[in-house]
Structure 1
Amino acid sequence: MTTGTHLSAWGGLPTYRFPVLDEETDDAARATAMRALPAPDAVAWRITVDCDDAEETWTEAFARFLDAVDPGRVRALVIGCWPEAFDSGPEEIFEAVAAARSRLTALRALFVGDITSEECEISWINQGTVTTLLDAFPALEELGVRGGQNLAFPAVRHENLRALTIQAGGLPAEVVRGVAASDFPSLRELELWLGTSDYGGDSEIDDLAPILAGDRLPSLTRLALRNSEAQDAVCAAVAAAPVVARLQELDLSMGVLTDDGIVALLGGQPLSHLKSLDLHHNYVSAEIGAHLTDTLTAAGVTVNIDADDADSYEDGDTVWRYVSVAE
């Protein structure tokens, strides 16, 4: 998986880019574009500006958006690029969105950082304290974040959040601990891209322990611990994790997964109750991979163990293997 394209949908709705100010677009064309806007509740609105040479700030574009649509009907919002995202975080954006909470009464899905690798590499994206948005929107059901640099996620309690996704080339340990210490009684889906130490991914397996215990996640049915350079160790921890017994979907893909991780899964608790197990992008031998696949598909589990995009090379006696998304 890459971050080379923008989200095509969010919150169950297709994304729609709100028209930007462009010096090459005349006033008549701008007016036509504004008249052609879809219904406020029909799309996930992507508000974005140029990352390098924007005609306006993100907050200025957001202000135009609030004036152009009925914000009380907006269900999903996607925050795209802001000027110099590789140098500055989105704190002003968070403040602006939070300040509009009384107008965005129907908002249920929010994504922060829908920024492609061409615009800004994932590990260069500066983030901020995203729990500000959870505090501002107690009815929010879906939150996604891309970028781990300067990301903060202090422990919170949120009654209605159903899906949380954090994508990073390296997820800071403090973020993992913050998520693990949070209370999410309604959360059904949790997805963390743990990443590599080269890009700030300094969490350890013990940091995942509260997530794997599941005590604060009573409604969880999908767990994705992805993109880790320590994917074998993640598998070993998952193999004995209490939360697994109530999952329907388990995703351990995109990381440096080898035969050791598969052996740990096979030797752990039964996984035959799962609907799906995703292990794509891996360094697993054909024999071990086939054994796992045969064992679980016989029980009705859909297994994805495609390794086609995994990249490695040998340097003398050392074999270098890579996660799917790093820089």
Structure 2
Amino acid sequence: MSFQEPAKEFHGLPVVRFSPDRRPDAAAEEAAWLLEADFVGSPSLGEVIEAFLASVDGTRVTALLLGHIEYEGPDGADTLADVADRLPALRALSLGHEQDFCGMEATGDFTPVLQRLPRLERLDVRGRYDLDLRPVRHEALRTLRVESCNLPPEVMRAIADSDLPALERLDVWLGVDGGDIEAADESDLGAVLTGERLPSLRALALENSGVQDEIAERIATAPVVTRLRRLSLARGTFSDRGAEALLTGQPLTHLEHLDLHHHYLSDDMEERLLSALPTTEVDLGGGRGPWYGPFDEEVFNFVEDGRDF
């Protein structure tokens, strides 16, 4: 599980927490505004947003973070979508910002957010409960980050089936199966691997998965890799099996950065990777020792953020 440090910056702007009880601490366009609601009780997220828009000129707000969304009440995505027309200048949005566990956030269907914010350039989504997406076309989005302990397969497939011509960076945490909840796996990656709907993609992260080796085997022959500058298969169960697939697959020497931190590689395999990619910055931090399988332990104990809920 992960406990995140409070963000100080988002989309190039300082993060300023909005409080309904006092006057705003910055001009509308000079901050990335953090709006938080309690898990239970009041004020609700909707009430916090309404108080914010009553105090700050929403037409000048460019960056917004929604955090600590309550368990009860409307999902964060629905609540934001309802006021999207009052935020015409919004360029960067974080839904489910900075929860202690990535599975606790009730984020909802974020399709309407993309549909109603056509000028959005960055969207960060964190959560599990009710997380949903339908295939969408968005002309302006340049960065999409989706973090989940148990990413629903249909969300991964919807990402793959979306037309995102401007997207330069895609980060997805697939997570692991939890209880009766199935997590996305390598079979759900679809057109992400071909890159046919992502012509501008230069950075790809498929992380925090219990099938990290299987993902690496798909990556080893994926057409999209040839135009990437940065690739990450970090945070999951990446082992010698996945590394062997990368080493025997298509060349990776064009990569500027390969992130494999939190891995289960042997010392010999670490040396082979570094020798094969002398001009690539390879992150092999957080080694957990060779992978021998989960045995009697749940696989969520073997990824970086896999707390089961």
TM-score (norm 2): 0.91
Q: Which of residues 50, 53, 65 in structure 2 aligns to 1:66?
A: 53
Q: Which of residues 92, 113, 120 in structure 2 aligns to 1:133?
A: 113
Q: Which of residues 215, 220, 227 in structure 2 aligns to 1:246?
A: 227
Partners of 1:128 and 1:150 within 8 A in 2: yes
Q: Which of residues 84, 96, 101 in structure 2 aligns to 1:113?
A: 96
Q: Which of residues 244, 261, 268 in structure 1 aligns to 2:242?
A: 261
Deviation at 1:239, TM superposition (A): 0.5
Please give the alpha-carbon distance, in whole angstroms, between the structure 1 residues aligned to 2:291 and 2:99. Answer: 24
Q: Which of residues 231, 254, 272 in structure 2 aligns to 1:273?
A: 254
Tell me if 1:45 matches 2:48: no
- 2:162 match: 182
Q: How many residues align?
A: 305
Q: CA, structure 1 residues 52+308, in 2 after alignment: closer, same or farther (shift >3 Å)?
A: farther
Please give the alpha-carbon distance, in whole angstroms, between the structure 2 residues aligned to 1:232 and 1:314. Answer: 12
- For structure 1, the residue ranges without an aligned partner over 5 or more in a row are 22-29
- 1:18 match: 18
- 2:137 match: 157
- SS at the partner of 1:203? coil
Q: CA, structure 1 residues 76+59, in 2 after alignment: closer, same or farther (shift >3 Å)?
A: same
Q: CA, structure 1 residues 176+89, in 2 after alignment: closer, same or farther (shift >3 Å)?
A: farther
- How high is the sequence identity, in percent, across the aligned residues? 37
- 1:6 match: 6
Deviates more, 1:208-217 or 1:36-45: 36-45
Please give the alpha-carbon distance, in whole angstroms, between the structure 1 residues aligned to 2:284 and 2:103. Answer: 26
Please give the alpha-carbon distance, in whole angstroms, between the structure 2 residues aligned to 1:48 and 1:319. Answer: 33
**Paired amino acid for 1:282:** H
**Paired amino acid for 2:28:** P
Q: Which of residues 117, 142, 145 in structure 1 aligns to 2:122?
A: 142
Please give the alpha-carbon distance, in whole angstroms, between the structure 2 residues aligned to 1:180 and 1:267. Answer: 26
Deviation at 1:40, TM superposition (A): 1.3
- For structure 2, the residue ranges without an aligned partner over 5 or more in a row are none
**Paired amino acid for 1:97:** L
Provide the alpha-carbon RMSD of the alignment.
Answer: 2.4
- 1:25 match: none
Deviation at 1:104, TM superposition (A): 1.4
Please give the alpha-carbon distance, in whole angstroms, between the structure 2 residues aligned to 1:189 and 1:112. Answer: 17
Please give the alpha-carbon distance, in whole angstroms, between the structure 2 residues aligned to 1:165 and 1:316. Answer: 32
Q: CA, structure 1 residues 4+312, in 2 after alignment: closer, same or farther (shift >3 Å)?
A: farther
Please give the alpha-carbon distance, in whole angstroms, between the structure 1 residues aligned to 2:298 and 2:35. Answer: 43
- SS at the partner of 1:124? coil
Please give the alpha-carbon distance, in whole angstroms, between the structure 1 residues aligned to 2:239 and 2:293. Answer: 16
Please give the alpha-carbon distance, in whole angstroms, between the structure 2 residues aligned to 1:100 and 1:232. Answer: 42
Partners of 1:253 and 1:280 within 8 A in 2: yes
- What pairs up with 1:280-299 in 2 under 5 angstroms? 280-296=261-277, 298=278
Deviation at 1:89, TM superposition (A): 4.9
Please give the alpha-carbon distance, in whole angstroms, between the structure 2 residues aligned to 1:310 and 1:46. Answer: 39
- Post-superposition Cα deviations, 1:264-317, rounded to whole Å, max 9, x if no partner, equal 000000111111000000010111011101221x2x211101124789899889
TM-score (norm 1): 0.86
Please give the alpha-carbon distance, in whole angstroms, between the structure 2 residues aligned to 1:156 and 1:267. Answer: 35
Deviation at 1:49, TM superposition (A): 1.8
Please give the alpha-carbon distance, in whole angstroms, between the structure 2 residues aligned to 1:322 and 1:116. Answer: 20
Please give the alpha-carbon distance, in whole angstroms, between the structure 1 residues aligned to 2:54 and 2:290. Answer: 48
- 1:304 match: 283
Q: Which of residues 204, 207, 216 in structure 1 aligns to 2:185?
A: 204
